[in-house]
Each structure stands twice: as C-alpha cells, then as structure tokens.
C-alpha cells in the first residue's frame, strides 16, 4: 500500500457558495496528494534493473495508465483543521489493478503441479506394519536477506550460487502475483513466520549475498537451493507466491 497526504487551503476570498468553496478545497487537497502519490510510486523497483519511473519516461501509454490509477486512488482519511485547512490521505494498493498493470507480461498463468506423497516402509517395522509418513510438505518459503543490503522489488529473483534461477517470474502464476504480489516483505524473521502467505510450515533459507547487478535479486546456497528443488511440492507454493523475504529496515541498510 502506498499512502500520500495532501493539504487544501481555503481561498483568501471565500466563494459565495459554501459547497463550491468546500469542493475547491477538496480538489486542491486531492491534487496535492496525487502529485506526492505519483512521485512515490515512481520510485518503486519493478525488478533489479527497472523502476516505475523508467517505464514512465519511455512509454506514453504506461504513463497515461499510471496517471489514471493514481487519479482513482481512494481517500482513506479526511480532516478539517480549525483554520479551514483540509488534510486528506490517498491510498493505493500495489496489488490488484496496479499489479495487473505494472507486472511484466511474461508472468502468465501456471497450471498446478500434480504431486504424490510417498510413504516408505520402515525396514525395522514388524511384518505387516506400515512405516511412518515423511515430514509434512513445506507450505511456503522464508528467505532471510538481512545483513546484505537487500531491497524490495515487485519481481524479485532468487538464484543459487551457480546463477541458476530458483524463484522468479517463470515460477509464479499471474493470478497470485496480481492478487498478493510475488513476495511479501518483513523486517523480522518472527514477522515473516506469522505471515499467513507462507502457511504453517515454511522452509527458511538464508540469502548469502545479493546477485551482481542489483540489490533486489538474491543468492542462496547450493544446498538450500537443492532442498527447495527436492520435491515437486515446492512448485505449487512458488506458483502461489507463498514467499516472504526478510530485509533490514531502511535505516539499517
């Protein structure tokens, strides 16, 4: 969610119609907030190489579409001060319509992966007695990227130490990327564990460094990458964007 505050000040000469004056103050406050909202949205990283501002500068249609989204941002707070000044807050969700508009076209619908649970017999079990089932499958993944200067983006990429992609746009289904974002971001590991998007049994891996070329893409160890790839189950929770990345707060980067 992006929020921006706008202020509308009464004109020195009040209108003869109180409703006209109030509408003018509201319009002024809304325009003020929209300018700030647009400037904030432009700073958002789409991926390691591109910010929203880059597409605004290069694509007229994108700029017009983004302006339309900003103009439709909802007023979530409105307060008149004693001197007649109006303060409002506009809010725009980065999922839903914004995600559908900004996310790259290569993020497409992905069909679910069929999985099968295999129960191996315990060699020490008495004849005729079933073995124990394997541990429950992971429901998501938490990537601890603290201490390496990692930064958020709409399309994060995770690779192993040889550069092979473990998670990226090809792994997610567009419906989930649009509705919830490709990844959640948390400031602490505890907060990530409590994020419903990763479920009750998330795998936790440590990012060892950013990938060269940007601080939004992450490198995990070869061993952790193998663990993540070890079962087809992971394709389903990656498809559903059940990923949370822990990054340092801005003041600690």
Average pLDDT in the 212-230 region?
92
Based on the domain organization, do 87 and 155 belong to the same domain? no
**Which stretches within 59-188 are classed as H helix?**
60-71, 97-102, 174-180
Q: What pLDDT sits at residue 251? A: 63
pTM: 0.81
**Residue 175 pLDDT:** 95
Residue 148 shares a structural domain with residue 240: yes
What average pLDDT does this structure show over 61-72? 97
102, 122, 149 - which closes a domain: 102
Question: In this structure, is residue 130 part of a structural domain?
Answer: no
Q: Same domain, yes or no, for 56 and 159?
A: no
pLDDT digits (tens, 9 = 90+) for 107-166: 987 665 544 444 344 444 444 444 445 667 889 999 999 999 999 999 999 999 999 999
**Number of structural domains found in the chain:** 2
Would 134 be classed as within a structural domain? no
**Domain boundary, last residue among 102, 122, 152:** 102
Are 81 and 155 within one domain?
A: no
Say if 82 falls within a structural domain.
Answer: yes
| End-of-domain residue from the set 79, 102, 125 | 102
Q: Are residues 144 and 86 in the same domain?
A: no
Same domain (yes/no): 93, 179: no
Joined tokens for residue 69: 């989204």
| Euclidean distance between CA atoms 105 and 112, whole angstroms | 19
**32 is a domain residue:** yes
Cα 72 to the center of its chain, rounded Å: 21
Residue 205 confidence class, pLDDT cut points 50, 70, 90? very high
Pair (150, 95) in one structural domain: no
Do 187 and 247 sit in the same domain of this protein?
yes
Please give the residue range of the domain that contains residue 231.
Answer: 140-252
C-alpha dist (Å) from residue 125 to 48, 87, 122, 133, 136: 53, 72, 5, 13, 21
Residue 249 has pLDDT above 50, yes or no: yes
Give per-residue pLDDT as tens, 76-91.
Answer: 999 998 888 999 999 9
| 135 lies in some domain | no
* pLDDT for residue 124: 44
Tokens standing for residue 37: 């909202």
Report the pLDDT averaged over residues 96-108.
94
Calpha distance 52→74 (Å, rounded)? 20
Digit-coded pLDDT (tens) for 24-57: 899 999 999 999 999 999 999 999 999 999 999 9
């Amino acid at each position: 969610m992006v929020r921006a505050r706008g202020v509308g000040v009464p004109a020195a000469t009040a209108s003869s119609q109180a409703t006209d004056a109030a509408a003018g103050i509201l319009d002024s406050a809304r325009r003020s907030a929209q300018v700030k909202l647009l400037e904030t949205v432009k700073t958002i990283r789409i991926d390691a190489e591109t910010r929203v501002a880059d597409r605004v500068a290069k694509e007229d249609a994108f700029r017009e579409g983004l302006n339309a989204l900003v103009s439709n941002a909802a007023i979530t707070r409105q307060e008149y001060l004693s001197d007649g000044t109006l303060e409002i807050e506009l809010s725009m969700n980065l999922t839903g319509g914004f995600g559908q508009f900004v996310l790259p076209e290569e993020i497409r619908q992905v069909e679910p992966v069929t999985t099968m649970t295999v129960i191996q017999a315990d060699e020490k079990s008495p004849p005729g007695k079933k073995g124990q089932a394997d541990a429950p499958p992971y429901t998501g993944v938490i990537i601890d990227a603290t201490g390496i200067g990692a930064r958020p983006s709409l399309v994060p990429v995770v690779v192993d130490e040889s550069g092979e992609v473990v998670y990226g746009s090809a792994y997610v289904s567009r419906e989930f990327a649009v509705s919830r974002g490709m990844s959640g971001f948390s400031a602490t590991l505890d907060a990530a564990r409590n994020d419903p998007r990763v479920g009750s049994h998330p795998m936790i891996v440590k990012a060892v460094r950013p990938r060269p070329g940007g601080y939004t893409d992450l490198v995990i160890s070869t061993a952790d990458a193998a663990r993540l790839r070890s079962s087809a189950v992971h394709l389903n929770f990656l498809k559903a964007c059940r990923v949370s990345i822990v990054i340092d707060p801005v003041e600690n980067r």
